[in-house]
Amino acid sequence: KAGVTQTPRYLIKTRGQQVTLSCSPISGHRSVSWYQQTPGQGLQFLFEYFSETQRNKGNFPGRFSGRQFSNSRSEMNVSTLELGDSALYLCASSFGSGHYGYTFGSGTRLTVV
Amino acid sequence: DQQVKQNSPSLSVQEGRISILNCDYTNSMFDYFLWYKKYPAEGPTFLISISSIKDKNEDGRFTVFLNKSAKHLSLHIVPSQPGDSAVYFCAATDAQGGSEKLVFGKGTKLTVNP
């Protein structure tokens, strides 16, 4: 079966712009989580959606937002981009509890210049 | 504060020998612990997990040991193969805040030399 698909793979944006990243989970998976990976902070939890509802949110400013659609596809948006937002953004989906192993996509590499 | 710590940024071992990757945590409320493997330009791949009520879980060449009193876990890879060369992340599930999330360590880069 198809894995978790993230688009686009690479993105270059200018400070102050906004960006939208997309994630299509594995078919049947209703939970979608987003993580940010940077060299300094490692992998950090952004938010989690289940059945179109945000169930959990990490310690990120309000410029980071997301949503989930009825088909479980999810998008995350970052407004007013800052240089420090440059990172690999990873999406993960799971069927139930994550201790069976979340499945991650290959990520979107965002560079802010 | 970092709740999951991998204190060794890198590890180098010879093919066929044992690789031992270590992880410490501070939050006694963590429910499950997981290990992920990551190649460059790819997302993390789930390897193995262990419940906080167990002390060992084995899957093929991979074994995870959990010492709750020391808040320490380790991943053993036996025998190590060159294809195991990757960054390994230790993670824990945190169910506080309304739903489960993963808390990651910063990773250990494993190099297996032929």
CB B47 within 8 A of CB B37: yes
Quote the distance between the C-alpha of residue B57 and its chain's center: 12
Which of A98, A100, A107 lies at the smallest CB-CB distance from B43? A107
| A103/A40 Cα distance (integer angstroms) | 23
Residue-wise pLDDT for B61-85, tens only, equals 999 999 999 999 999 999 999 999 9
pLDDT at B96 over 80: no
Contact B102 A102 (CB under 8 A): yes
DSSP code string of B32-92: EEEEEEE-TTS--EEEEEEETT-SEEEETTEEEEEETTTTEEEEEESS--GGG-EEEEEEE
Length of chain A: 113
- A32-49 confidence digits (pLDDT tens): 999 999 988 889 999 999
